[in-house]
Amino acid sequence: MKHRTRRSTAATLTAVVLLAACAFVAVVAIQRILGETPWVDYRTVADALHERRWNDTGTAIAGGAAALLGLVLLSAGILPGKPTILPLDGEPASGASRHSYRNTLRAAASTVDGVGRAQLKLKRRRATVKVTTGRTNTDGLADAVRDAISRRLDQIGPATRPAVEVRVHATRSAS
């Protein structure tokens, strides 16, 4: 079970831009139908576009920008996002949310004696833990945090076990 994030940002942005363009065209068309002066005159736009050539610099830049935007939107729709539900061993339909998984591992790191604060970043195959301690001697703290997280991973039983990397930051130095 791997639920993926939705591409709501790209879809919303595209929808808003298209809605604004359609609303603008509709307003100009209604203004022309009612005989009022439109915001944009069709003949002015058509004349400006007819003066352009395909090999002009501005045309090439606008075409390149449109192609780049299209590729970005296409890749946002095709490429998979981060999984929101991470699969667990056991039943095929069992999983844990990415948020609760990260919070559980961070809590395991925080329970180690000497850890003042723990931050955890969860990537595809790696869990990076940055712990802050008030100790002056940090020998063995990284190993203790790694062991605590490994025990918690044994309890959770993820389908893909991440490699654990621990970074220790001491707020006080040995004087």
Q: Supply 27's token pair.
A: 């307003």
Burial of 115-137, coded b for 16+ CB within 10 Å and e otherwise, reads beebebebeeeebebbbebebee
Q: Supply 163's token pair.
A: 């490699």
Query: What is the predicted pLDDT for the residue at 3?
Result: 59
pTM value is 0.59
Highest mean pLDDT among 65-74, 76-85, 93-102: 65-74
Query: What is the predicted pLDDT for the residue at 5?
Result: 63
Residues of the chain with CATH 3.30.70.1350: 85-170
Just give the CATH number of 85-170.
3.30.70.1350
- With a pLDDT cut of 90, the percent of the chain lying above it is 37
9 vs 2 pLDDT, higher one: 9
pLDDT classification of 16: cutoffs 50, 70, 90? very high
Q: Give the Å distances, CA to CA, from 56 to 44, 49, 69.
A: 19, 12, 20
